[in-house]
A = this chain, B = another copy of it.
């Protein structure tokens, strides 16, 4: 892998997506700071368009395409935030988006994709079926495939959240981000290390789906053997690309239990009055569990999103 993305790609991505994205606020909480003994800066991608950081990578990729590449639209398979992100980015560019979703996806997700003008193709709820149907759709329509994380343009887009965070607060000692497929952590690590190599970059992962942890510690990409976690955005495994970037740039991967994730999520809802999804609570839990010593330091956390099914809260 000779040409991994670098800071300049993220800077270009930010320039490209700025007209289309929110510059999300950075919030702080006295109660949280007292609790963890550090100064913590929450970069609130739950307030991003479509309610998650995923819009950054998707819009960077969609707006990177030449007119010829984009002419017949774009396509992806996703049951989550990436589906909405691609649908909205495509609508903004004025091209069709073909979204392959499992037939059992929650109604609220289907409606959201349709609400952004996405053309939904349903498939059986297996990865194989998703890929097969996607290939059919791409063959039929000529649409351009937008992956959800295994792509340098996606990685560069996701890194823009950290670029903004460090523009606002340049003297952070740590940046923490959740890790699933690794797109966000890859972009985060490139941005942070590119700006200042002494910033520690920490990936936070559910201990039940700890492929990034296993891969990072062993130095060899290892797929997840389980996808059971409440953090529904983190059920995927790293790719060669994201593993290479993370292995090179991140300082550590730290895992937390399901109960810690739920406790952290509830703490943020109750004390900060903002809605964060379980995946966002994973790095919060790392600090609340004292799994990383940040006493007296400044730590940024990328709050990845706020898309939660309000009928199924994890503490009920």
Contact = CB atoms under 8 A, between A and B. Distances in A.
Interface of A: 25, 46-47, 51, 266, 269-270, 273-276, 306, 310-311, 313, 315-316
A196 to B, nearest CB: 29
A313 B312 CA distance: 11
A273 B273 contact: no
A276 B315 CA distance: 19
Contact of A275 (B273, B311, B316): B273
A177 B245 CA distance: 51
* Copies, count: 2
Main secondary structure of the interface of A (DSSP, over half): loop
Nearest to A277: B273
Nearest to A52: B273
A92 B266 CA distance: 27
Nearest to A276: B273
A269 B275 contact: yes
A81 to B, nearest CB: 13
A51 B313 CA distance: 21
Contacts of A25: 25
A316 B315 CA distance: 13
Contacts of A269: 275, 310
Contacts of A270: 310
A46 B310 contact: no
A311 B306 contact: no
Given A25-B25, A316-B316, A310 B266 contact: yes
A91 to B, nearest CB: 14
